[in-house]
Amino acid sequence: MSFNLDKITRENVKGLSPYSSARDEYVSDGSTMVFLDANENPFENGVNRYPDPQQRGLKAILAEQKVIKEENILLGNGSDEVLDMLFRAFCEPKQDNIITLPPTYGMYKVLSGINLVENREVLLTNDFQPNVEEILKTIDNNTKLLFICSPNNPTGNSFSTKAIEELLNSFNGLVVIDEAYIDFSSKESWVSKLANYPNIIITQTLSKAYGMAGIRLGICIASAEIIAVVNKIKPPYNVNQLTQEKATTRVLDKQAVKNEVSEILAERSKLEEALKTVSFVETIYPTDANFILAKVDDATLRYNQLLKKGIVVRNRTTQPLCANTLRFTVGTPEENNSVINALKELSN
């Protein structure tokens, strides 16, 4: 394999220098200074100053926890923003293409539409694994990004390590491994293999296991060279002050996150066991995430029946390979009891 970052970076991005904001040029080291450089309102209210555009404090903690360097991290307004930045840094509109593996997270397709980049879809196999042979056949000289969601949404399973390794080794573009659900998984994160692959990008988020969907904090992890390219197009203040503060407090509270994940996993087992007893549930797919995909007799009928009982699940029946499936997010013990009781009532 010969991965060449310069070759896959968009021409216009190569020549860009990022916008240099007032806070880029002088970042406080904690000593008392008079800040008259950024046209801010000087009266203190906690958020009257621009946030650190490079989020140094938060990155330092994340780098330590993930055993990487700060230069390997870029943060975004949710991982959705990170994914969008990857399109804008690497894909030439109307010329380049990306590969996605449906059924998978819907934003990759939406972003390809927004960015005018062809989305080449290679269906997962019937057991929801990447079809490596077909993917390799679909790649051409204009393929820039390959999106691998593992654990995958909506199927819940992790992809085989061997398949992902083969793709990393054979593809000259960037392999984006979306690890939104990695904290619920028994499999190791690909972050530990960062140094082995020049073309790997890992995305993570505080929206799932960390319980912070509302603050919007996405994490992009890659080589320092890749991160430097994406930094050129990053809006200067994409991660606001309140998000940086909340995220810092939360990532430092590792035990609280661990306890919640353990409880969610125990509840997931409870929900799986209950689903097995429901007459109209035909298949419960293996999951490494905080949700369960189940095949039922008639997904739309069951979805509407649950709605009437005040319970909203996700009907995935229109997704390829997902006919008559419902996706159940694991809730609190009380919420899970409600859905279990509702399913039992409908099961009679």
Footprint of ligand PLP on this chain (CB under 6 A)?
Answer: 78-80, 105, 149, 153, 178, 180, 205, 207, 213, 218
CB of 276 to ligand PLP, least distance (A): 25
Q: Which is nearer to ligand PLP, 23 or 184 (CB)?
A: 184
Cβ-contact 174, 143 below 8 angstroms: no
Q: Which is nearer to ligand PLP, 288 or 342 (CB)?
A: 288
CB of 55 to ligand PLP, least distance (A): 15
Q: What one-character-per-residue DSSP string does 111-162 give?
A: HHHHTT-EEEE----TTS---HHHHHHH--TTEEEEEEESSPTTT-PPPPHH
Q: In DSSP terms, which residues pair with 294 in a beta bridge?
A: 284, 326
Q: Which is nearer to ligand PLP, 153 or 336 (CB)?
A: 153
CB of 107 to ligand PLP, least distance (A): 6
| Cα 291-294-299 angle, rounded to 5 deg | 115
Between CA 181 and CA 206 the distance in angstroms is: 10
Q: Which is nearer to ligand PLP, 23 or 268 (CB)?
A: 268
Q: Measured at CB, which residue is nearest to ligand PLP?
A: 78
Cβ-contact 336, 271 below 8 angstroms: yes
Q: Is 231 exposed, middle or buried (0-12, 13-18, 19+ CB in 10 A)?
A: middle
CB of 340 to ligand PLP, least distance (A): 24
Q: In what order do the strands lie in the sheet with 97-100?
A: 73-76, 218-222, 200-205, 174-178, 143-149, 97-100, 118-121
Structural element, H or E, at residue 282: strand 281-284
Q: Which is nearer to ligand PLP, 105 or 328 (CB)?
A: 105
CB of 105 to ligand PLP, least distance (A): 4
Q: Which is nearer to ligand PLP, 50 or 105 (CB)?
A: 105
CB of 82 to ligand PLP, least distance (A): 8
The token pair that represents 150 in the structure block = 């593992």
